[in-house]
Amino acid sequence: MACTAGSKILENYRPAYDASVVRKLRECGAIIVGKTNLDEFGMGSTTEGSAYQVTANPWDLECVPGGSSGGSAAAVSARQCVVSLGSDTGGSVRQPASFCGVVGLKPTYGRVSRYGLVAYASSLDVIGCFGTTVADAGILLQAISGHDKLDATSSKRDVNDFTSQFISKDYFESQPLKGLRVGVLSETIGDGVDKEVVSSIRGAISHLEELGSTVTEVSLPSFSLGLPAYYVLASSESSSNLSRYDGVRYGNQIVSDELSSLYGGSRANGFGPEVKRRILMGTYALSAGYYDAYYKRAQQVRTVVQKSFKEALDVYDILISPAAPSAAYKIGEKKNDPLAMYAGDIMTVNVNLAGLPALVLPCGFVENGTSRLPVGFQMIGAAFDEEKLLRVGHIFEQTLQGCSFIPPIIADEFKC
């Protein structure tokens, strides 16, 4: 199959090998039914940045599915496949999971091999899982986790049996989450967050309390610093990673009899506007004279963010926030406003800076004129403690009454 990463520069590019995750899935007997749409090289939050298509949200075809891995989320939401993979550099599995009403799981950095993943920002990139249930996402994670000698950043830690965390409702005690300490990030449920999103999150919090957990609000003062630091670091790393697309080693080549215009012309022709913007921002941040003010500073902020999450997770078992400040919005609404688009990543980017695992689960809806759109909440766990997230998430979804997260057009078609 062609591997385009949503970019014209890789149109018709056929990779010579499978990514390790794909190889592992095939070895388990999985059938790969297709590849899905995404924002070019993972840069975006809607799939509108794809050089090929815009994916529609199955809940409202006029709305975006989220992104960048919006095609993978929409495919699971529309029941076109049982599970799917996406990449999450700053939220690209979790935000589309929330927009499409499916489960999205971002593993700890290093849990899953990145060998064969098209690189965006290598210190942040992870491959994540979509499913309609926590169990499906967990089974998929089990299949793709573990050390890979082809990726030196993949962890050598043992991979436990995640499925042992799944207890059927029939065996629950009256308070199955008794003893669980939950911290709600206060910065994520205040100003700038859609009111209906906040009330869905509050509903999820009450549900966790009913299940026996102790919920406390916790403030992370460094929270808002994550977004600018992420954009400096992600752009910087991408400007380096994308230098391989020069029209010679990879990608479409323009006709030219001179080397530098061959490079320049192939890139000018092959990259879309958002990718060019990131390369320019990243190159600027890394250039002599600006390096200390931007890149180094952002790295310092990253250390502060990591430390504050570590401290909070020493006290709480899991931390809670919305997965995005709003539900899905209309196609075209933010396309020409990159800063508004970047601001929508506020809930997810800190988790990548800290390398932590996080699980997004559908928990409610917002009314959007003619349609209802799903809302997801995010649970953040300690590094390599995916098991706890899966256990809590599995109990949560089995006990959430009165919510069906099947998009109406799909429910009508299958009469469910």
Alpha-carbon gap, residue 246 to 257, rounded angstroms? 15
Task: Pick one of 43, 143, 211, 242: the residue that binds ligand GLN (CB under 6 A).
Answer: 43
42 interacts with ligand GLN by CB under 6 A: yes
Q: Which of residues 90-109 bind ligand GLN (CB under 6 A)?
A: 90-92
Q: Tell me which stretch binds ligand GLN (CB under 6 A): 83-91, 215-223, 257-265, 309-317.
A: 83-91
The sign of the CA dihedral 83, 87, 90, 92 is: negative
45 interacts with ligand GLN by CB under 6 A: yes
Task: Mark whether 155 is an active-site residue.
Answer: no
Nearer to ligand GLN, 247 or 355 (CB): 355
Binding residue count for ligand GLN, defined by CB under 6 A? 14
Residue type for position 361: L
List CB contacts of 336: < 8 A, sequence separation 6 or more.
none
Instruction: Count other Cβ atoms within 10 Å, centred on residue 142.
Output: 19
47 interacts with ligand GLN by CB under 6 A: no
Task: Mark whether 266 is an active-site residue.
Answer: no
84 interacts with ligand GLN by CB under 6 A: no
226 interacts with ligand GLN by CB under 6 A: no
Q: Tell me which stretch binds ligand GLN (CB under 6 A): 39-47, 186-194, 328-336, 404-412.
A: 39-47
Q: Tell me which stretch binds ligand GLN (CB under 6 A): 50-58, 89-97, 165-173, 303-311.
A: 89-97
Least CB distance to ligand GLN at residue 400 (A): 27
120 interacts with ligand GLN by CB under 6 A: yes
The number of CA neighbours under 13 Å toward the Cβ of 223 is 20
Q: Are 59 and 77 in contact (CB under 8 A)?
A: yes
Q: What is the SS3 assignment for 64-128?
A: CCCCCCHHHHHHHHCCCCCEEEEEECCCCCHHHHHHHCCEEEECCCCCECCCCCCCCCCCCCEEE
Nearer to ligand GLN, 120 or 396 (CB): 120
Helix (H) or strand (E) holding 185: strand 181-185
What track of x and - describes contact with ligand GLN for positions 232 through 271 (by CB under 6 A)? Answer: --x-------------------------------------
Q: What is the SS3 assignment for 313-368?
A: HHHCCEEEEECCCCCCCECCCCCCCHHHHHHCCCCCHHHHHHCCCEEEEEEEEEEE
36 interacts with ligand GLN by CB under 6 A: no
Strands 214-218 and 181-185: parallel
68 interacts with ligand GLN by CB under 6 A: yes
Instruction: Count other Cβ atoms within 10 Å, centred on residue 1.
Output: 10
Could you tell me which of 44, 45, 143 has the C-alpha nearest to residue 85? 143
Could you tell me which of 393, 362, 398, 397 has the C-alpha nearest to residue 169? 398
Q: Tell me which stretch binds ligand GLN (CB under 6 A): 88-96, 169-177, 184-192, 319-327.
A: 88-96
Q: State the residue for tokens 């709305």.
A: 63
- Dmax over CA atoms of the chain, in Å, equals 75
Least CB distance to ligand GLN at residue 68 (A): 4
Nearer to ligand GLN, 263 or 295 (CB): 295
Least CB distance to ligand GLN at residue 166 (A): 27
Could you tell me which of 323, 318, 322 has the C-alpha nearest to residue 216? 318
Nearer to ligand GLN, 207 or 278 (CB): 278
Catalytic residue among 7, 69, 92, 371: 92
Least CB distance to ligand GLN at residue 328 (A): 14
Nearer to ligand GLN, 264 or 338 (CB): 338
- Annotated active-site positions, please? 68, 92
Residues that bind ligand GLN (CB under 6 A): 42-45, 68, 87-92, 120, 234, 345
